[in-house]
Structure 1
Amino acid sequence: MENLNRIRCMAVDDEPPALQLLKSYIDKIHSLQLIFHSSNALDAFNFIQQNEIDLLFIDIQMPGLNGLEFVKALFHKPAIIITTAYREHAAEGFDLDVLDYLVKPFRFERFLKAVSKYTHTVTVPANFEMLQNNRTSESVYMYFNVNKELIKVFLKDILYIESIKDYIKIVTLQKTIVTYQRISYMEEKLPEEDFMRTHKSFIVNIHKINSFKSDRIRIASDVIPIGRFYKRNLIDRLNGDTFSE
């Protein structure tokens, strides 16, 4: 795993002791790299607009801009771990698709458990940056954690992705893998030029579509449902004729 980038972290908390504790915990884990930390949420928000962050640790109760408002305002969200003394905000936090919710004071063992949820999701290699500048490159790939082993998958080989509760099934012509991840995270990370959501439980590689009709898509030998909410976008995207109802 030495060839993989370290996980770029940001820590935001207006309480100096809490921020210092987060910094010390992050420093103990070699795979984590603290890129930026601040007690000022507005400064942190400005920073994250200009820089790539993989994992955000953020408090809720902060002056000026609280943690939930911070997360809601982000267009491209990193993985998020909320750190707060207020349990009553947990439900709203999870509605925002956060990775975990740490209630202060939390021990290092609990911090490790939260971080492990990230390491069981997608691990992105250095050349993932190619997606930003060369989205048609056939060499772009991701690593997925499967049974504690990182499996390499080229994006061009993905046929479709299916959500199975808190897991996703990634189907290619060569293999099918199942990994702990949310489909919403993949929807954010995959290049929209090549992939699109066609159902609450499916993302497809649009270049792999063999045929489609009003309620389904065929990719290879598999049939993928089309959700009503996604139908119009699919029509516009593929420049097809209006589906018959």
Structure 2
Amino acid sequence: MPLVFLQHFRGTLDSWDPKLIDTIAAKREVILVDNVGVGGSTGTTPSTVQQMALDAIDFIDALKLPRYDVFGFSLGGEVAQEVALRRPWQVRRVVLAATGPQGGVDQRASDPNILQRTLKDNPGPEDYLYLFFKNTASSQAAGGEFLQRLGERTTDHDAPSSLATRDRQLTAWSEWGIPDKSKFVRLNALFQPTLVADGESDILMPAKNSRLLAKYLPDAQLHIYPDAGHGFLYQYAVKFGTEVNTFLDR
């Protein structure tokens, strides 16, 4: 059963942690994709999560996958929810990492420091460490190791996401995050077994949103990782990758 990966805000194929992907790929086929207008993909990035989901479905249909699992990280987790809701006969299981339900709580960052680092034209290593990892020695050290792994491959790089893609994704992310409890009822229709996980100190998508997902999804299990932020899946790459495989193998 192939596992389709959907990436975070501004992320491309090169943004995935090779240690996480290799851990999961040891047990199953993995498919990483730049959605429309992202990285090396052509076209114009949509400004709604719903259209991003339809574009992802078009890609999956082109691969002629009759059944598949889906893994969504952050913005990709929002897209993954929509894919699972729209294609319940094809999506078997879902992994939602550091994401939240439509209409959740505190999903639209208002802290000027977070916004400045998130929207910077050319974010650097210090921005990733601040946004993705907790401000502790252990988490920051894990972040440094993650950045080293990203630099291991020196050829055949994916194209970076454009500023136009950033702006359209930001519009989609912001619209998704408008607080609206009435949207939670849609989660009742996402009946597939779902693994929900986050870091306990996520400043981009607070873990309370993962708890909401676990509360409203009919068949969800929740794991909040300690001493970790938005990038918990990279801080605990092998541990989380193993958890994902165990969940998908059930």
Larger radius of gyration: 1
Q: When you count helix as a share of all residues, which structure comes out higher?
A: 2
Q: Using CA pairs below 8 Å that are at least 6 residues apart, which structure has the higher relative contact order?
A: 2
| TM tier relative to shorter chain | under 0.3
| TM-score scaled by length of structure 1 | 0.26
Q: When you count strand as a share of all residues, which structure comes out higher?
A: 1
| TM-score scaled by length of structure 2 | 0.26
